[in-house]
Amino acid sequence: MNSARLAAGFIGAGNMGQALIAGLVNGGMAPERIGIAEPDSARATALQQRFRGLVALPAQALAAQAETLVLAVKPQQLPTLAPTLAAAVTGAKPLVVSVAAGISTEQLAGWLGPETRIVRAMPNTPALIGAGIAGLFAGKNAEPADRETAERLLGAVGATVWVDREEQMHAVTATSGSGPAYIFLMIEAMTEAATRLGLEPETARQLTLATAAGAARLAAESTESAAELRARVTSPGGTTERAIAVFGERGFADLVDAAMRAATERSRELGA
């Protein structure tokens, strides 16, 4: 590693950029080795106060100095932003890690230069508490060391999984990228239903949150499938069976399938 260069540079320091920066610092990386290019001056200042020594630079300068360049901006911004970084990326040859939904490695290489080493990543918002998971895909120029670098970067805020085909990143986006919102929606609906059934709002909230967290932990730690665990809770003739029957009658599984297909299609549209 060249000590004259920044270890990591983040173009865009929103929630995901901040989560990754925090993960790197908590993992032992000095803030002086991290740079940001953030047009929101108040946000940049707040981050520099939080992480003393954090470097703030214009995007082109950051691209020229970072060994790993993280594109943490909205996908709609990349067609305009990325070409302005091409000269710096071609010259400095950083590993480029993109967390923009839908934007392919081929598109990024077209904007940044055909020899650019690129890894696509789709993290999710639980990264904010170090409990995220990111799907990763390595572009054709990425080397084994680049895969290790990307794993360390995203692994600082949770787990990582690799996919072999870039097309699968759309499904990753629909599953884990958008997935926390599905869980939040279920929590929201259960809390509101429990309140309508007579529980105090805070009691309903505590019961729902603990149930969601406990069920997820049990599913993660059990050797049984989610279907088997569900069956074990669903006693014949009991309350759970009655509730599950309503989910089935209303087409819950079909609704989830349709929602995830819609998210997948939107991911494809963002890269079109």
**174: in domain:** no
Ordered strands of the 95-98 beta sheet: 55-56, 34-37, 6-11, 66-71, 95-98, 117-122, 132-138, 158-162
pLDDT surpassing 50 at residue 2: no
pLDDT digits (tens, 9 = 90+) for 221-252: 999 999 999 999 999 999 999 999 999 999 99
| Among candidate residues 148, 168, 188, the one where a domain is terminated | 168
| Among candidate residues 168, 194, 227, the one where a domain is terminated | 168
Same domain? 146 vs 29: yes
**158: in domain:** yes
Domain span holding position 88: 6-168
- Give the DSSP per-residue string, 125-177: GGGGGT-EEEEEEE-TT--HHHHHHHHHHHHTTEEEEE-SSTTHHHHHIIIII
**40: in domain:** yes
Count of H-run helices and E-run strands, the chain: 13, 8
pLDDT grade for 272, boundaries at 50, 70 and 90: confident
Same domain? 131 vs 32: yes
Name the residue among 103, 144, 143 with its Cα closest to residue 120: 103
Determine the pLDDT at residue 253: 96
Here the CATH number for the domain that contains residue 202 is: 1.10.3730.10
Q: To the nearest whole number, what is the mean pLDDT of the chain?
A: 95
**C-alpha angle with apex 27: 21 to 33, nearest 5 degrees?**
55
Same domain? 85 vs 219: no
Same domain? 205 vs 115: no
pLDDT digits (tens, 9 = 90+) for 179-214: 999 999 999 999 999 999 999 999 999 999 999 999
Same domain? 114 vs 31: yes
Same domain? 83 vs 53: yes
pLDDT digits (tens, 9 = 90+) for 107-139: 999 999 999 999 999 999 999 999 999 999 999
Determine the pLDDT at residue 271: 83
| Among candidate residues 168, 200, 225, the one where a domain is terminated | 168
**10: in domain:** yes
Same domain? 157 vs 204: no
Same domain? 138 vs 189: no
Number of independent structural domains in the chain: 2
What sign has the CA pseudo-torsion 65, 152, 143, 75?
negative
Determine the pLDDT at residue 136: 98
Amino acid at 122: M
User: For the residues 140-163, what does the mean pLDDT come to?
Assistant: 96
Same domain? 49 vs 138: yes
Same domain? 246 vs 158: no
Q: What predicted TM-score, i.e. pTM, was given to this entire model?
A: 0.90
